[in-house]
Amino acid sequence: MLYMELISIIAVTYNSSDFIIETLDSIYNQTWHDIELIITDDNSTDSTVDLCRRWLENKGNRFIRTELSLSKVNTGVAGNANRGLQAATGKWVKFIGGDDTLLSDCLTDNMLFISSRPHIKVVFSRINIYSEDFTPNNYLETSPNGEMEQNSILSLNRSAESQYRMLLISDRIHFSPSVFIHRETLLSLGGFDDRFKLLEDYPLWLNLTRNGYRLYFMDKVTVNYRRHSRAINHTGNSFLINPNYFSAEPFRRLYTYPFLPPLIRWEQKYRWAVSQIFRMSLVNKPGRLNRFLLILSTVYLNPFRYIIKVRKVMMVKPEGVDFFM
């Protein structure tokens, strides 16, 4: 029976005391019955762990099994998610950040979608994005919004190989919190790459598609995602170039550069080299002059950009190929 499938929800927390109860209550209120709840904490310095313990004492009997996994050191989001994955036993896993919430039918909708498509191992859906709290006045947008266009990475005409090629150029998935994934599939790829502490999603999408796992899309909203000033990846509007871009170069050297066509690789390396000017805080502040300098140096003075454009005009693109150089 459909409702006898065990699903592991993995709540990933770090200094989440302001939001964790709301997150856990959204898990408690799922219409799916058979849930294993794993809370994995990355050495929080606030009251997150105490709040989780008390909540589990009061409401933990709603679940098939619960576990609170703690770390004595901070390992980053990837390591924290891996600890939850190792503790999970369900056939499917649903990760949720300790500051987000699940819509009540999140698990049911995903399982109904998969039940008629047994070949699927990875599903994305829509997320509602809010600022600070989940009140109507703070709703920002739904991602992805509108129809799933034919050239989208999750359109029905794309294979895993095609998705992989698109992901090599850039991360096209901005609704990662919605992912619902087959546990054994994730384990077979080694889980999340914990060499990159704050970059858990993008390497995983590349690993999945490179190994032939197509990413599917369900046209439903399943998660409320919160943008707030206390988030790990929050930089506000303080920078012209997000500092995370500079720290991700080791990832690009390992995951994308070696597999890109030469011209695209050189174009991206040119952007990286020029961007080093903007590491200086004075130049990386938002402003008309700095923005002009950034566009001038990385776009208009970028020789590879023009070479690529000429090649695209002069050459006939083979059918089914997303890029060629």
Q: How far apart are CA 233 and CA 242, in angstroms?
A: 10
pTM exceeds 0.85 for this model: yes
Whether residue 318 has pLDDT greater than 70: no
Cα dihedral across residues 251, 257, 260, 264: positive or negative: positive
Higher pLDDT, 186 or 307: 186
**Pairing outcome for strands 122-131 and 216-227:** parallel
Gyration radius (Cα) of the chain, Å: 21
Q: Which residue has the tokens 């190792």?
A: 86
Q: How far apart are CA 311 and CA 19, in angstroms?
A: 51
Structure-token pair, residue 225:
């995602």
Whether residue 316 has pLDDT greater than 90: no
Domain residue spans of the chain: 2-227, 243-314
Higher pLDDT, 263 or 318: 263
pLDDT band at 325 (very low <50, low <70, confident <90, very high): very low
pLDDT computed for residue 43 by the predictor: 96
pLDDT computed for residue 109 by the predictor: 97
What amino acid is encoded at 155 in this protein? S
**Pairing outcome for strands 35-41 and 122-131:** unpaired
Structure-token pair, residue 108:
């049911």
Whether residue 185 has pLDDT greater than 90: yes
pLDDT computed for residue 221 by the predictor: 97
Structure-token pair, residue 135:
């009140």
Provide CATH code, domain 2-227. 3.90.550.10
Please give the share of the chain, as a percent, with pLDDT higher than 70: 94
156-162: average pLDDT: 93
66-70: average pLDDT: 98
Nearest one of 48, 42, 27 to 78, comparing CA atoms: 42
Whether residue 238 has pLDDT greater than 90: no
Nearest one of 119, 118, 117, 92 to 30, comparing CA atoms: 92
Residue 179 CA, distance from chain mean position: 8
**Pairing outcome for strands 92-97 and 7-13:** parallel
Q: Can the peptide bond before residue 144 be classed as cis, meaning omega within 30 degrees of 0?
A: yes
